[in-house]
C-alpha cells in the first residue's frame, strides 16, 4: 500500500484529462514552460543585454552595446 502502481497513475491521469480537458492541460503546460524560461532569463540578469565574457575588455563590451542600441533604434 506504500507505493502506487502504474495502474493507479493511469487512472489518475485519465481522471485529470476528463476533468480539465486536453486543451487546458496543453495551454497550462505551455504557460508553465514560458514562466520557467522567463525565470531563467531573470536569474541571468537582463535577457536583452549580452553578457560580457571573461577576459573581454570593458571598452569592447561597451562598444558592442552601443552598436546593439543603435541597431535597435
pLDDT tens, 53-66? 666 555 655 666 66
Residue 1 clears pLDDT 60, i.e. is over it: no
pLDDT of 73 reads: 58
Whether the Cβ atoms of residue 65 and residue 49 lie closer than 8 Å to each other: yes
* Whole-number Å distance between alpha carbons of 61 and 53: 9
Question: Residue 52: pLDDT above 70?
Answer: no
Domain boundaries, the chain: 1-45
Burial 38-56 (b: 16+ CB within 10 A, else e): eeeeeeeeeeeeeeeeeee
Is the per-residue pLDDT at 11 higher than 80? yes
Each residue's pLDDT tens digit, 13-51: 999 999 999 889 899 999 999 999 999 998 887 655 555
Q: What is the pLDDT of residue 3?
A: 80
Amino acid at each position: 500500500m506504500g507505493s502506487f502502481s502504474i495502474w493507479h497513475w493511469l487512472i489518475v491521469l485519465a481522471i485529470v484529462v476528463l476533468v480539465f480537458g486536453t486543451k487546458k492541460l496543453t495551454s497550462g503546460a505551455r504557460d508553465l514552460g514560458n514562466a520557467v524560461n522567463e525565470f531563467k532569463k531573470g536569474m541571468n540578469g537582463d535577457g536583452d543585454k549580452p553578457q560580457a565574457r571573461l577576459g573581454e575588455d570593458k571598452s569592447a563590451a561597451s562598444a558592442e552595446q552601443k552598436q546593439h542600441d543603435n541597431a535597435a533604434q
